[in-house]
Structure 1
Amino acid sequence: MKKYPWLKFYTSDWLADPGLRMCSSAARGLWIDMVCIMHDAKPYGHLLIAESVPTDAQLSSIVGIPVEELQSLLSELEKSKVFSKKRSSVIYSRKLVRMQEKVVKARKNGIKGGNPKLEKDIEIEEKKDSRLTREVNLGVKPQNPEPRIQKQSEADASAGNASRHSKSVLFDTGVTYLVSKGIDEQRARSFIGKLRKTHSDLEVLASIEACKDKGAVDPIPYIEAILNEKRPEIVKPEIWDRLQHGGSIQ
């Protein structure tokens, strides 16, 4: 599925979703962070990092709240049926998954002689399911006419804000950890900057967490190995056992 660097957010849908309205403001804040992660995930719409299920400790590190609070908020969202789970316990957004199915179908229709522009014209103003991710729309076609330049500027601004936030979290935690291992700060920043050119901020942060947990003597080659060789231990539950009991990047 083609990746979009932004999400359309309908405030009226967000405010009208009864399931979400029953949740606390803290739970709603966690949910929008989860939506952003699922938008960047593969398969699309699933709560996955580096294509694997994050543990509570890993998700806690990413969103910046204690594990105990995260677990309570996730329970709150689940009771209100804000998200669904597969048998494998993978959390997913019903709305995002439906959107992906529409895009795939539109693309196939284009290949078979249909109109390939259908992919860009898909609207997700669905009324059958008022729960969870009404606020998200990947369609390029706007609800109301607006200048092309204005539309692009708004999208760029939204994507830029999200990018700056994830970059700040990554550099704050990553540089601190690498410096604690005896690596010069300038070299640490340069190393993280290089990784960001080929990997998402979430993947880089997850690799640093795994490196910290393994106690690697030389973290730079270990982190590179995790990312370049897609080493599976980055997301195995046991990697995060210590983190679930209060551990974090020092």
Structure 2
Amino acid sequence: MTLDAAVANPSDGTSASGSSFYAAMRILPREQREAMFQIYSFCRQVDDIADSEGPRPERLAAIQRWRDDIDALYQGHPPARLQDYVASVRHFGLKREDFLAIIDGMEMDIPQDIRAPDLATLDLYCDRVASAVGRLSVRVFGLGENDGILLAHHLGRALQLTNILRDIDEDASIGRLYLPLEGLLHAGITSNDPLKVVAEPALPKVCAPLVERARSHFEKADEVMNRNSRRVVRAPRIMSKYYRAILELLVERGFALPRPAVRLNKMAKFAIILRYAFI
């Protein structure tokens, strides 16, 4: 599952119009807002293929058609579903390799469900499904190249690790387990069966290092945003504050059973918008 910022999770009530993504992006000028919703739409459609219940060969074929369509877009003959992207690609300098990285990330869940990846594979997954979205987004926001790439790296990983920690039970219900193998083994968990792992009493020991890793990425993302114009980083700042709040609610709740769903309430969301949207 990708980060909410780009492919909002319908089970969390975050279709585009009801998401933290929407709240953060609606403050942007029209051209930027339209480009971000194009990125959103692309990610959502590719994510839907990965998360569908269709036969795996059919999903692989569908994901390849998206790869072909992105190639066609950058070769100057975009398919109908990408016609509107031409102006955004040209105006904001969106990179073909970032769109393809997102496709590659979604595809990682198709041949077989991800279960207990090693840390290197988990980081690659986070880079593809989250930081690659960030690399497209920072170009739209107008960050400089070096800080833009750095912000995408850290904020993308922070958001995705928060998603993984939030969605442990939901992912297990569809046969997926994004918790790293090294963490499981360190906690004495040898199974990679998602439903068995999420019932393990030692699960909090697996989650604790991921919490600290996510916090570290949030802090490094803040360092990048703090040295850039506040107006340029308004949208990513809102996303960061939303997700940091969710992470801390997860920590407060804990990772032992039972694990009630964690959501940011409307007042907390409004307070973040009020503080960061109009600077």
TM-score by length of 2: 0.33
- Greater helix proportion: 2
TM-score by length of 1: 0.35
Which protein, 1 or 2, shows the higher relative CO under an 8 Å CA cutoff with sep ≥ 6?
A: 1
